[in-house]
Structure 1
Amino acid sequence: MRKLLRRARSKADYTWFLAVREWPVLVSALGVLLGAITILPSAVGVAISVIALLLGTATFVRDFRNLRQRWSSHEFSLIAAPFPHEQLPPPAAYPDAAYSYLPNRGTALLSDEIDRTLRDRTFTVRLADEPYRLPPILRATAPHVLPIRARGRLLFNGPVVGLRTDPLPGSGEAEVVLHRARFFDFQCSNELCAMRITNRETGEDLDPRRRLLTDASGRIRPLTASILSDVVGISTLAFTTDGKLLLVGQSDRNTASPLLLAPSGSGSLEPRDLVDAEGTERPTLAEVLRTGMERELCEETGLSPETIASTELTGFARWMERGAKPEFFAVTHLSVSSTEVRDTAPRGAERLYSSDVTALEVDLPALSAELRAGTPILEAPSLPPVIRDVGSLPLLLALRAVGLFCQDAPR
């Protein structure tokens, strides 16, 4: 019954999202229905109702044909090729930024200087008054994109939080702006960058990555100039008291990393992470991120909040294949051993997307030394083979961040 209800909710979210954007067709259909049910047993009533029915039917047929033509005039296909990072320079404001391409996982935009800034500088938080709205160019493609993204998956249009500013180096406190969004906004904006659009009549191709992600100079846009929802991704690596790393297997329903290993807690920032139990707004970005990461950790592993000793931010990246969305990473220290968490499992809705929880030995000091010497994460000898084979992009980036964090942290 629980799975049936979740499928019904997913279908309802999907239908409502499309209905809001195609309301003229629904109004025409309603006119046809009203014309049909108001035919009265009198000559005048019959005549008026028949005329209304015919007019409503003609309008509905016209709108429906226009809708089908509009939906079928372009072909949407998923891009299998890697992100063209060699052709698109990073934002000029990102210090010493570089791309990291991990085969079969994805491409990340990284800056070690931003990682250090994230740990050392205080960023206060301001929530934008207006929620994110799809701009006209994205509203037009939304009815095409969402059916492709939803095919074979359970998607819910839940509330999420996006980032409008970049956590850049500087002196003193700095403010970052967040905005409220919905998950389908992300699917129809950032995730559009994983598709190629082809005009069936002219054969012309449109690569949304270049149109949506780059500025006039051809560089990747900073978040301050983005028109996408830029939902905040959050991931943390949880280590037990005996040094084991908890990993979460992803089910085939997961949209980002199906059948791969994910960090101990991984997901999206949500509005509930912005406030404490009394409803008071959390003042800093670090507090907001830690709250979201620890929530995801408890949901995906089944751990209770009481088992969390501390969480420290370690890094930042932008996931290029997913519309250069922002991703934050952390390391969490638990107050329990791997034996005590042996029987934990994902909770609630997370059971749809996460399959199991495992504890793995990772030689973090050795990994840190290898990364410090310039060894790429996938080539590091101390990286466990299972992570090298089936580790997701967030997991590999989180391990890189925690490895370099251990290098920078006081001993």
Structure 2
Amino acid sequence: MGKLTRRARAKADYFGFIGAREWPLAASGLGVLLGIVTILPSAVGVVLSVVALALGVATFTRDLRLLRRRWAGFEFTSIAAPFPTAELPPPPAYPASAYLAVPARGTALVSAAIDRDLWDERHTIDIAEEPYRLPPSLKATAPHVLPLRARGRLLFNGPIVGMRGDPLPAAGARPAPVRLHRARFFDAVCSNELAALRITRTDTGEEYDLRKAELTDTSGALRELSSSALADLVGVSTVAFTTDGKLVTVRQSSLNSVSGLLLAPSGSGSLEPRDLRTSDGKPRRFLHTAVRAGMERELCEETGLTPEYVRETKVVGFARWMERGAKPEFFGLTELTVDSAEVSRGRPVSGERLYSAGLTLFDVDLAAIGAALTGGVPLSEALPERLWEDGSLPLLLALRAAAAWQAARV
């Protein structure tokens, strides 16, 4: 029943999101239905009901034609070319930042200086009182975009946390709080995920490219998160190691909307509002504790492990995933209290079984990878071949950040 429930919930979220924006059509349809069921046996009642039914049918037909005309007014084209990093330099405020492109997986903006600053765990958070709302320009395209993105996938409009601040290093004093906001997953689908699409109006030929319209600031550089108008959902991923040194990875199923059939981190997903509070309901003050809570929650959901099997999680890195609207991503390194045999017996929680095809464990020497990266070896050569070839972008970035943290401890 778990899979059937998840599928039913995905459909309910989808039709609820679309229906909230196309309610006039639903109202017309309801009028037609009421006209049919209220036909009375009296002559006058029959006449009035037939008139009402005719008006309802005419209105409903008109609204249906208008809806089809509006939905046919856009053409969507997937952008297959690599992200044009040469046309969009990193924000000047990001220290020593650079783009890291992985063929067929994506492009990320990374900064070793930001990663090292996160190790000190100094950033606090500030939660916006008002939830995120799509700006008018994106809200207008939402009913057209969602059916396209949902095709062949199971998408749920669950609660998420977005980010409206940048975890930048600050000299001396404690950095300014990083502002977070509550949102829904479909907000991200209809904002950040547009970066992979080119939208053209069929009547005018006008093109909308979110990369130019929303990701570029007035100077021509990538916008900081603090000035973004997108949902910017916070990604959280961690790589977990067993007591006998095995890396735990999750094989994604074909239903996964982002990294289908690739190897994912031990726990990977989005930060949720419940991660912003402790188990006794108190608000979390620090960025690393909220992010760590999200990482460990995803780890337990996707591996079937329980919290007592987690010894410690360290937040080790940050990036922005360019193909997904430059959304923020945090990476962690988790030390488990169990060996690989115990982990292999785990199963994901029922809600995750649609997306997970099981676990795969690898022998990975983080210290050796870190030493290689420090010596200038490319990530493609520093990582084991299987991980580089089959790993999702979050897995590769998480291993990169964890190896750098490990190397700094030696």
Q: Which bin holds the TM-score, normalised by the shorter protein?
A: over 0.9
* Alignment deviations for residues 332-365 of structure 1 (CA, whole Å, 9 cap, x no partner): 1111222332212222211111111122111212
In the other structure, the counterpart of 1:348 is 350
Of 303-312 and 120-129, the range deviating more from structure 2 = 120-129
In the other structure, the counterpart of 1:291 is 293
Contact 1:36/1:53 (<8 A) preserved: yes
Alignment partners' CA distance in 2, 1:201 and 1:180: 36
In the other structure, the counterpart of 1:123 is 123
CA shift for structure 1 position 166:
0.6
Amino acid at match of 1:24: P
Amino-acid identity (%) = 61
CA shift for structure 1 position 374:
2.0
Q: Secondary structure at the match of 1:313?
A: strand
Runs of 4+ in structure 1 deviating by more than 6 angstroms, as ranges, are none
In the other structure, the counterpart of 1:113 is 113
In the other structure, the counterpart of 1:319 is 321
Aligned length: 408
CA shift for structure 1 position 121:
4.5
Q: Secondary structure at the match of 1:255?
A: coil
Amino acid at match of 2:59: T
Contact 1:265/1:296 (<8 A) preserved: yes
In the other structure, the counterpart of 1:401 is 401
Amino acid at match of 2:89: P
* Alignment deviations for residues 359-385 of structure 1 (CA, whole Å, 9 cap, x no partner): 2111212111111022221122xx211
In the other structure, the counterpart of 1:304 is 306
In the other structure, the counterpart of 1:214 is 216
Alignment partners' CA distance in 2, 1:5 and 1:120: 42
* Alignment deviations for residues 273-292 of structure 1 (CA, whole Å, 9 cap, x no partner): 11112111111111101111
CA RMSD after TM alignment: 1.4
CA shift for structure 1 position 74:
0.9
Contact 1:346/1:355 (<8 A) preserved: no
Q: Secondary structure at the match of 1:213?
A: coil
* Alignment deviations for residues 289-343 of structure 1 (CA, whole Å, 9 cap, x no partner): 1111011111111111111111111110000001111000010111122233221
Instruction: Indicate which of 179, 182, 185 corresponds to 2:184.
Output: 182
Contact 2:2/2:350 (<8 A) preserved: no
Contact 1:121/1:173 (<8 A) preserved: no
Amino acid at match of 2:393: L
* Alignment deviations for residues 186-227 of structure 1 (CA, whole Å, 9 cap, x no partner): 111111111111222344432222112112222111111111
CA shift for structure 1 position 173:
4.4
Specify every segment of 5 or more residues in structure 1 that has no aligned partner in the other structure, as ranges. Answer: none
Alignment partners' CA distance in 1, 2:40 and 2:341: 75
Amino acid at match of 2:277: V
Alignment partners' CA distance in 2, 1:194 and 1:240: 37
Contact 2:123/2:174 (<8 A) preserved: no
In the other structure, the counterpart of 1:165 is 165
Amino acid at match of 2:272: E
Alignment partners' CA distance in 2, 1:283 and 1:216: 33
Alignment partners' CA distance in 2, 1:320 and 1:401: 18
Contact 1:319/1:326 (<8 A) preserved: yes
Instruction: Indicate which of 366, 369, 374 corresponds to 2:368.
Output: 366
Amino acid at match of 2:400: R
**1:1-150 residue pairs with structure 2 within 5 A?**
1-150=1-150
Amino acid at match of 1:316: F
In the other structure, the counterpart of 1:228 is 230
CA shift for structure 1 position 168:
0.8
Alignment partners' CA distance in 2, 1:3 and 1:238: 27
Alignment partners' CA distance in 2, 1:50 and 1:215: 58
Give the TM-score taking structure 2 as reference length. 0.96
CA shift for structure 1 position 91:
1.4
In the other structure, the counterpart of 1:192 is 194
Contact 2:161/2:271 (<8 A) preserved: yes
* Alignment deviations for residues 224-255 of structure 1 (CA, whole Å, 9 cap, x no partner): 11111111000111111221111111100111
Q: Secondary structure at the match of 2:85?
A: coil
In the other structure, the counterpart of 2:333 is 331
Contact 1:121/1:172 (<8 A) preserved: no
Q: Aligned pair in 2 of structure 1 residues 348, 242: CA closer, same or farther (>3 Å)? A: same
Amino acid at match of 1:260: L
